[in-house]
A and B are shown apart, each in its own frame.
Chain A
Amino acid sequence: MPTTPDTAMPPSQGGPESTGVPRSARRGSSAGRSSGSRARRSGPASMQARALAGYAGTYLVLALAAVLTLGPFLFSVMTAFTSSQQFAQQGPLAIPAPPVLESFAALFAPSAGPDGFLTPVVVTVQMVAVILVGQMVFSVLAAYAFAQLRFPGRDLLFWVYIATLMVPQVVVVVPLYLMMSEVGLRNTFWALVLPFVLGSPYAIFLLRENFRGIPTELMDAMRIDGAGTLRLLWHLVVPLNRPIIVTLVLITVVTHWNNFMWPMVITSGPEWRTITVATSALQSQYNNNWTLVMAGTTLAMLPLVILMIAFQKQITRSVGNTTLR
C-alpha cells in the first residue's frame, strides 16, 4: 500500500519516535482499516499517525501556495529596486546589491515628463476619493428609501436596479465613450468619475438588505425627538450598519483604483491618466526597461496590498456578508 499515510509522511514531520508507537503497529493499523475489530484495537495510534501525515500534507500545500503567490511579487519588487546596470548584467533573478531607488526616482523626477507617475498618482487618489464619497452617500440614501419608505413605483424601480447588475463594463464602454464625446467631456476628470459617482446598484442592493433589519422602534423614537431623515441616517442607520459599509468602502476603493478599461478609453495623453493607464503606457513605451516598468507595477499594487493586510478581517468577513446569504 504505497499511499498509506505512513509512507506519505516525510521523516522530518515526526518518525516513530514522536508518536511512541512502533512503525509495524501503525502499518498494521492502516492495513487493517477494513476489518472493524483490528481498526478499533489500534485506533488511537493509527489516528495519531494519520493526523501527523495530514499535518505534513497540509503544510506542504500551504507552503506551496504561499511561495507561488508571493514569488511574482518578490521578483517584481526586487527588480524595481535593482539598478538598471545590475539588471542588464545579472538578469531578473539578481538580488539587488545594493537596493537602489533609481527607478522610483526616475518615475517621479521632473525629467520624467509626461511618462511620470506623479500626475497619475494624484489623479487616481482624487478619482477614487470622489467616486467613494459619491457612491457611499447616494447609495445609502437610495438604500434607505428602498428599505424603509413606501412610495409608488418602489418595487418596480428596485427590480430595474437589480437588472442593471447584469450590465458589464465592456458592453457600455463604447456608448459611454460616444456620450462623453458628444457633451465634450472626453479626457476630463468628470468623465472619469461621472459614470460611477451617483451610486452603485450593487451597493444599494447590499445596503438595502441590511437596512431592512433596523428596528422600527429606534427610528420612531428618534423621529419623535424631532430628528430629520439625514440626522436619522447619520446617527442611527450608518452606525448600526458599520460592518457592511466598511466592506463596501473596501470593495469600492479596490474596484476603482484597479479600473483600467474606462480610464484608458476616455483619457488621451498624460493629463488625466490613472495609475493603471500609466503602467500600461510605461510598459508599451519602455518595453525592455524592466526595472522602470516594475517600479510602476509596484506603485500600482502596493497601496492596495497594504490596505488588504490592514483590513484582512473585514475582507475575509465580506465574503460571508456580501454574496452567500
Chain B
Amino acid sequence: MNSRRPLLGWLLIAPSLIGVTAFLILPVILAFVVSLFRWDLLGTRDFIGLDNYASLLSSGALVNSLVVTALFTLISVPVSLALGLVLATRLVQALPGSAVVRVIVVIPWVCAPLALGVVWKWILQPSVGALNQILGVRIEWLTDPSLALPAVAFVAIWQNVGYISLFFQAGLSKIPTSIYEAARLDGAGPWQSMRHMTIPLLRPTTFFLAVTQVVASFQVFDMVFALTGGGPQHRTEVIASLVYHEAFTTSNLGRASAVAVILFVLLVVITLIQQRYFARRITYDMS
C-alpha cells in the first residue's frame, strides 16, 4: 500500500524535522543545561550545579507559584467544565435562537487572552471600572490579595466556558435520544437522567476536557500578565509568570530555566498519567 521511496520521504520531512529539532528539541535540552548555570543577560555563565533549584526552593518563590497555579487550576477547571456542561445541555435542545447563542459564546475563545485581560482589567478597576459602577461598590478586585486569584480565575472561566460547551455539545449529540425517552417512561426526572445517564455517558469527553484544561491552565501567562502581572504580593504569580520574571525582570536566566524544567517535568507526568488512565477508560466511549 505505501510506496517505498526513502529519499523522497526524507526530503519531504526535512523542513519540519529541522524546525522540530532546532526550535523544540534543542531548546528543551538547552533549558536543562542553562538551569545548571548562573546565567544572566550581561554574559555571566558560571556552572553551579543544582544551586538554582536549591535557591528556588529555599526562597519560597517556586512553592508559591506551584500553589498559585494549582489553586488557579482547581478553581477554573471544575467550574468551567460544570458551566460548559450546563450550557451545552441547553444549546443541544436547538430551540429557535440557540444557533446565535452557540456562536456568541465561542467569541471570547478566539480573542487574544492578552487583549481580554486588558479589557477585564479595565472592567474590574476600582474607581472607573464598569463592574463596580454597576454594583455601586468600590471593591479592589485585582489588588486585594485575597480577591486577585479568584478574579483572574473568573476571567479565565469566562473565556473558556463557551469553547468547552462545544465539546460537550458534540458529546451530547452522540447520545441517542431514545434512552432518555425510555428513562422518562420509567419515571426518571430530568435531574436523575442527568446524574445517571448524561454524566456517565459523557465521561470520555469530560475526561479529555479535564486533561487538556489542566495542562493549559498550568501554562497560563498572557491573561495573568495583563490582569495583575503576578501581583499583589505574588498572589497570582503562576509558574509561567515566575519564568518570565526570573528571566527578563531580574535577568536570572539560570533560575528561570530551572522553573521551566520543573514545569516541563510536571506536564510530562500529567500527560503520562492521563494516557495510562485514558487507555483504561477508552471502553466507555460510545463510538
Contact = CB atoms under 8 A, between A and B. Distances in A.
Specify whether A and B are partners.
Answer: yes
Interface residues of B, number: 99
A217 to B, nearest CB: 11
B122 A92 contact: yes
A178 B37 CA distance: 13
B26 interface: yes
A257 B190 CA distance: 43
B35 to A, nearest CB: 9
A144 B2 CA distance: 11
Interface in A166-192: 166-179
Interface in A269-293: 275-276, 279-280, 283, 288, 290, 293
Contact of B97 (A62, A204, A315): A62
A164 B133 CA distance: 47
Interface in B157-180: 158, 161-162, 166-167, 170-171
B95 A58 contact: yes
A168 B25 contact: no
B5 A170 contact: no
Where chain A touches its partner, the secondary structure class is helix
Contacts of B2: 148-150
Given A76-B122, A166-B271, A174-B31, A258 B3 contact: no
Residue in A170, A199, A276 whose Cβ sees the most chain B Cβ within 10 Å = A170
Contacts of A72: 116, 119-120, 123, 158
Contacts, number: 300
Contacts of A300: 111-112, 114-115
B235 interface: no
B31 A175 contact: yes
30 contacts: A69-B158, A75-B130, A141-B16, A149-B8, A150-B2, A157-B17, A160-B20, A171-B264, A174-B34, A174-B247, A174-B257, A175-B257, A176-B27, A178-B30, A179-B30, A194-B23, A196-B23, A197-B19, A198-B16, A257-B112, A258-B113, A258-B222, A261-B221, A261-B240, A280-B226, A301-B112, A308-B110, A312-B106, A316-B106, A324-B204
Interface of A: 33-34, 36, 39, 54-55, 57-59, 61-62, 65-66, 68-70, 72-73, 75-76, 79, 91-93, 138-139, 141-142, 144-146, 148-152, 154, 157, 160-161, 164, 166-179, 194-199, 201, 204, 216, 229, 254, 257-258, 260-261, 265, 275-276, 279-280, 283, 288, 290, 293-294, 296-297, 300-301, 304-305, 307-309, 312, 315-316, 319-320, 323-324
Given A61-B90, A172-B24, 14 more contacts: A61-B87, A141-B13, A142-B16, A144-B12, A166-B264, A168-B264, A176-B27, A179-B22, A179-B26, A198-B16, A254-B110, A288-B128, A297-B115, A312-B103
